[in-house]
A and B are shown apart, each in its own frame.
Chain A
Amino acid sequence: MNSEIKKTKMVPLPSQSIIPERDIAQKPILEVSRLGINFGGLAAVEDFNIAVGPTEICGIIGPNGAGKTTIFNLLTKVYQPTSGAILLDGQDTSNMNTVQINQAGIARTFQNIRLFPSLSVEDNVKIGLHNQIGYNMVSGIFRLPAFFSGERRARKRVMELLDIFDMTHLASHRAGSLPYGAQRRLELIRALATNPKLLLLDEPAAGMNPSETEELMSNIEKIRDSFQIAIMLIEHDMRLVMGICEGIAVINYGKIIAKGTPEEIQKNPLVIEAYLGKKKGKIHVKRDRDPGLLQ
Chain B
Amino acid sequence: MRGLRLRSNIDNLLTYGLVIVAYIVMRLLIAGGNISSALQGQLVPITAYIVMAVSLNLTVGVLGELSLGHAGFMSVGAFSGVITATLLTDTIPTTWLRLALAMLVGSLIAAIFGFLIGIPVLRLQGDYLAIVTLAFGEIIKNVMNTIYLGYDKNGIRISMESANALKLDEGGKVILNGPMGAIGITKLSSFNAGFVLILITLFIVLNLINSKSGRAIKAVRDDKIAAESVGISVWRYRMMAFVTSATLAGAAGALYALNYTTVVARKFDFNTSILILVFVVLGGMGNIRGSIIAATVLTVLPEVLRAFNEVRMLVYAIILILVMLVRNNVTLRQLFQKIGIKRRNSLANNKEGDDA
Interface residue ranges, A against B (CB under 8 Å): 76, 78, 97-99, 102-103, 107-108, 110, 114-120, 122-123, 126-128, 130-131, 133, 135-137, 140-143, 147, 150-151, 154, 168-169, 171-174, 177, 190-191, 193-194, 294
B351: shortest Cβ distance to chain A, in Å? 7
A123 contacts across to B, CB distance below 8 A: 215, 218
Q: Are B215 and A127 in contact (CB under 8 A)?
A: yes
| Contact between B226 and A110, CB atoms less than 8 A apart | yes
Interface flag for B320 (CB, 8 Å): no
Cα-based distance from A268 to B292 in the complex (angstroms): 68
Q: Closest CB-CB distance, B174 to chain A, in whole Å?
A: 39
Q: From A110, A117, A120, A169, name the one whose CB has the most chain B CB atoms within 10 angstroms.
A: A120
Name 11 A/B residue pairs within 8 A (Cβ), A-sorted.
A78-B225, A99-B233, A108-B229, A116-B222, A116-B223, A119-B218, A119-B219, A135-B212, A137-B208, A169-B354, A173-B351
- A172 CA to B2 CA, complexed, in Å: 7
The count of A-to-B residue pairs whose CB atoms sit within 8 angstroms is 123
CA distance A136 to B208 in the complex (A): 11
Q: How far is the CB of A131 from chain B (nearest CB, A)?
A: 5
**Does B214 make an interface contact (CB < 8 A)?**
yes
Q: Does B278 contact A (CB under 8 A)?
A: no
- Specify which of A76, A103, A108, A123 lies most central, judged by the most chain B CB atoms within 10 Å of its CB: A123
Other A-B pairs, 6, CB within 8 Å; known A127-B219, A172-B356: A119-B215, A123-B215, A127-B227, A130-B232, A140-B212, A171-B1
CA distance A24 to B4 in the complex (A): 48
Chain A residues within 8 Å of B4, by CB:
120, 122, 172
Main SS class of interface, B: helix
CB distance from B178 to the nearest CB of A (A): 39
Q: Is the CB of A141 within 8 A of B232?
A: no
Interface size class of B (residues with CB under 8 A): 35 or more
Taking a contact as CB atoms under 8 Å apart, the answer to whether B348 and A102 are in contact is no
In the complex, whether B303 has a CB less than 8 A from a CB of chain A is no
| 9 smallest beta-carbon distances between A and B, as pairs | A140-B211, A102-B231, A174-B348, A114-B226, A116-B222, A172-B4, A98-B228, A172-B3, A127-B219
Whole-angstrom CA separation of A193 from B226 in the bound complex: 13
Q: For residue B207, which residue of chain A has the nearest CB?
A: A141
Q: Is the CB of A107 within 8 A of B345?
A: no
Do residues A127 and B232 form an inter-chain contact, with CB atoms below 8 A? yes
Asked if B259 is at the interface of the complex by the 8 Å CB criterion, the answer is no
Cα–Cα, bound, A120→B222 (Å): 12
A128 touches B348 (CB 8 A): no
The chain B residue sitting closest to A191, CB to CB, is: B230
Per-residue 0/1 for B183-215: is the Cβ within 8 Å of any A Cβ (1 yes, 0 no)? Answer: 000000000000000000001100110011111
> Within the complex, what minimum Cβ distance (angstroms) separates A168 from chain B?
7
CB-based contact A140/B218 at 8 Å: no
Find chain B residues with CB under 8 A from A191 CB. 229-230
Q: Which of A116, A128, A135 has the most chain B CB atoms closer than 10 A to its own CB?
A: A116
